[in-house]
Amino acid sequence: MIVIELPDEAATAALAARIAALARPGDVIALKGELGAGKTSFARAFIRARGGVEAVPSPTFTLVQVYELADGPIWHIDGYRLRDPEEAWELDIEDAFRDGVSLIEWPERLGPLIPARRLEITLSAGPTPAARRAAIDPGGEWAARLPAPSLAFRHPRESGGPGQATELGTLDSRFRGNDTK
């Protein structure tokens, strides 16, 4: 388990962009967390980082939004309104899991249909209203693809002044000791 402190929405977007750069067709990214934890904000930043320029609405009511991008489709799925995991078949999840990158909010609602080969990111509130904490479980092939140092990202408001971002990584005091299970 890797735990990363995200001081604001810009840091969440930077993490999403870093993971987007590593994602491949067939990947499933399970976004867990309470209402308002930042799942949709993470998904929006991920989609934009992959080249999506259109609006990225929450799929809470439509249940799924598909973005046809140059690197392949991204399926943004929201399982919150599913009453039974079997309802997920109506969303064509088998196509999503095979051909695209799947971003799934409320993945627990898919029950046994959620693939075991997934990257699981649990977002929770941080120490300030804008802050979030990301607990990342890089299961399966993601463990080799996503070692903790690869999660380093640049945040424009870190020390170094405007325009001189400082790279954040596992040696930063906010990360020390958080990369074990």
pLDDT tens digits for range 48-57: 998 877 767 6
On whether the pTM is more than 0.85, the answer is no
Q: What is the pLDDT at residue 148?
A: 57
Average predicted confidence (pLDDT) for the chain: 75
Say if residues 124 and 59 touch (Cβ distance below 8 Å).
no
Per-residue pLDDT band at 142 (split at 50, 70, 90): confident
Domain locations along the chain: 2-168
The Cα 75–Cα 28 span in angstroms is: 9
pLDDT digits (tens, 9 = 90+) for 6-63: 999 999 999 999 999 999 998 999 999 998 888 989 999 999 998 877 767 666 656 7
- C-alpha distances in angstroms, 141 versus 26, 116, 144? 12, 11, 6
The Cα 137–Cα 123 span in angstroms is: 12
Helix (H) / strand (E) containing 32 = strand 28-32
SS3 of residue 69 by DSSP: strand
From first CA to last CA, the distance across the chain in angstroms is 5
Phi, psi torsion values for 69, nearest 5 degrees: -115, 165
pLDDT digits (tens, 9 = 90+) for 85-118: 667 667 667 777 778 898 998 888 877 878 888 8
**Out of 3.40.50.300, 3.40.50.2000, 3.30.930.10, 3.90.950.20, which CATH number does the structure's domain 2-168 have?**
3.40.50.300
